[in-house]
Structure 1
Amino acid sequence: MSNHQELPNTLQKTSIPVLAQETSGFFALFYKEVKRFWRVSFQTVAAPVLTAILYMMIFGHVLEDHVKVYEQISYTAFLIPGLVMMSLLQNAFANTSSSLIQSKITGNLIFVLLAPLSHLEFFLAYVLAAMLRGVVVGLGVLMATIGFVDLQAYAILWIVLFALLSSAVLGALGLIAGIWAEKFDQLAAFQNFFIMPATMLSGVFYSIHTLPSIWQTISHFNPFFYMIDGFRYGFFGVSDVSPWMSLAIVATFFLIVASIAIRMLAKGYKLRH
């Protein structure tokens, strides 16, 4: 049998999924990234949902009768959208950053770089997968906590818009962190000293109007605050700042971080040695 006859049989035995074989490199990379987090969904999805439930049970139980943010809205109801968004943001960031640093350390990133992919396709595949993980975790938190209070959506479009745009921002930030970091310690520092404080100090557990004036001013320089405040507006129809202002700031922040990430990819910064 000639080589031309043997080639199709060889291809049939390969371990690459048929779906990935028959589609573009962009979709193959996106498929790989989604499969990567979904295969360990107990860790990447279930664990963050459990953490959010514990936050809600502890803070909601302790502060329910002591904190009043908006009229006719209980503290537990106020807390849930913040926990949903916090979980969404942290997991969108974790998806791209952890994937890239693992690929760099194990050395298999070279196979992705050798594929016929443009830097824009590379960016979109990683960020879209991060958005999917963030939204899945956010939905999991919402479904697990919504039974504790009577939570109704005031404007679903605002909820969806801020969820997608904010997860895209953190996916792009995770890409930047994963490209910049050369070891897990550096990535952990980026997450612990930037992502975590910015998320926790963005109004997840409180309204900024309860803070002293100096901290209110500082909070307005935190883009994460606008993500959570705009998302919360979609549930209650009230917010600390105008949702249109929040949308403009989050969209601008996304354009900035996306431009930086795409530029780093185009130059091969810390990717090609």
Structure 2
Amino acid sequence: MNPQSEAVVPPQPRDYQGFNWAGFSTLYLREVRRFWKVGTQTLAAPVVTALLYMMVFVVAVRGAAPPVHGTAFATFVAPGLIMMSILNNAFANSSSSLLQAKFNGLIGDFLTPPLTPIEHVSAFALGAATRGVLVGAVTWAAVLPFAHLPVTHIWAVLYFGIGAALILGLLGIMAGLWAEKFDHMAAVTNFVIMPMTFLSGTFYLVDRLPEPFRSASHFNPFFYLIDGFRYGFIGHAEGSLITGVGMTAGIIVAFTFLCLWMFETGYKLKT
């Protein structure tokens, strides 16, 4: 048979059975390397901010701030600062990644590869969670000279720390897909993330707030994240741990499905 008479068969696209681990790991590593390359901004800056808060709320008021539930004020504040670093950095990682890709016209780099919505969401969320947990760990080490932090319940530290990083990573995905310009992202950060963080008992007991702010704080998901995380260190919680555990798992599931829907429908991606 003449070889030239044979029909030329074009190469077949790769068929991924099940989860595309190669594509997922590539996108995940891309998200990690993205923030790692600018470590001064993504890792060092949050630690400096946390240390400044420690100086203001602990050193400047030393002797004036009484112990909280038998716990030194510095030990009470430190877990809140660590959690605040986790929340802010997890949100910033996924939201800025998607918004910058849309702004620079590079969103096709995410949509062209053979990745399903679950692979997109998993990579972006876990990349954001990695940054949040890493910044939290570095902040933890940085505040140790100012506060003694004995770990009394390691499960609470891990559960609420990782859970908070995932929640804000997923929220960052939704914000990054929704936002059309950097002003939109700044609005979410300044009018949603920061108020919810500061009004969740980061630096104080929410029971000392006047009404209706005291009751409203118990409807703030960030309150349960910070309260559960702090419980892991000092062994005391203001709110219900059962509520916090269930709420954390429920929000992760709900946000995951919402992010999957946004990628599945191409929400503000295919227009």
TM over 0.5: yes
2:216 is matched with 218
CA distance in 1, matches of 2:62, 2:205: 14
Distance 2:67 2:167 in 1: 27
Secondary structure of the 1:188 match is helix
Instruction: Name 1:99's counterpart in structure 2.
Output: 97
**Aligned-residue offset at 1:69:** 5.4
Aligned length, in residue pairs: 252
What CA distance in whole angstroms lies between the structure 1 residues aligned with 2:99 and 2:196? 22
Secondary structure at 2:60 match in 1: helix
Aligned to 2:66, the other structure's residue is in SS state: coil
The correspondence of residues 19-58 of structure 1 with structure 2, limited to 5 A, is 24-58=22-56
Contact 1:37 1:44 survives alignment (8 Å): yes
Contact 1:64 1:76 in 2 (8 A): no
Report if the CA contact (8 A) 1:69-1:206 is conserved.
Answer: no
CA distance in 2, matches of 1:148, 1:39: 29
Q: Does 1:254 align with 2:248?
A: no
Match of 1:34, SS state, is helix
Name which of 74, 77, 80 aligns with 2:75.
77
CA distance in 2, matches of 1:107, 1:172: 22
Alignment of 1:183-198 (within 5 A): 183-198=181-196
Task: Find the counterpart in structure 1 of residue 152 from structure 2.
Answer: 154
Distance 2:122 2:67 in 1: 38
Q: Structure 1 vs Structure 2: percent identity of aligned residues?
A: 44
Which whole-Å CA distance do the structure 2 matches of 1:199 and 1:56 have between them?
Answer: 16
**Equivalent of residue 125 in structure 1, options 116, 123, 126:** 123
Q: Look up the match of 1:145.
A: 143
1:168-183 to structure 2, matched below 5 A, reads 168-183=166-181
Q: Which residue of 1 aligns with 2:85?
A: 87
Tell whether the 8 Å contact from 2:218 to 2:239 is kept in structure 1 after alignment.
no
Equivalence for 1:13: none
How many Å separate the matches in 2 of 1:262 and 1:90? 22
Deviations 1:92-134 (A, max 9, x none): 0000000000000111110210100000000000000000000
TM-superposed CA distance for 1:67, in Å, is 2.9
Following superposition, the deviation at residue 194 of structure 1 comes to: 0.5
Larger radius of gyration: 2
Query: What is residue 167 of structure 1 aligned with on the other side?
Result: 165
Is it true that 1:59 corresponds to 2:23 in the alignment?
no
CA distance in 2, matches of 1:136, 1:64: 29
Report the Cα offset of residue 250 of structure 1: 1.7
Q: Which sections of structure 2, spanning at least 5 residues, go unmatched?
A: 1-20
Distance 1:190 1:231 in 2: 24
Which residue identity does 1:224 align to in structure 2? F
1:203 pairs, out of 201, 204, 207, with 201
Given the alignment of the two structures, is residue 239 of structure 1 paired with residue 237 of structure 2, yes or no? Answer: yes
Q: 2:16 — aligned with what?
A: none
Tell me the TM-score normalized by structure 2: 0.90
Q: 1:145 to 1:105 in 2, by over 3 A?
A: same
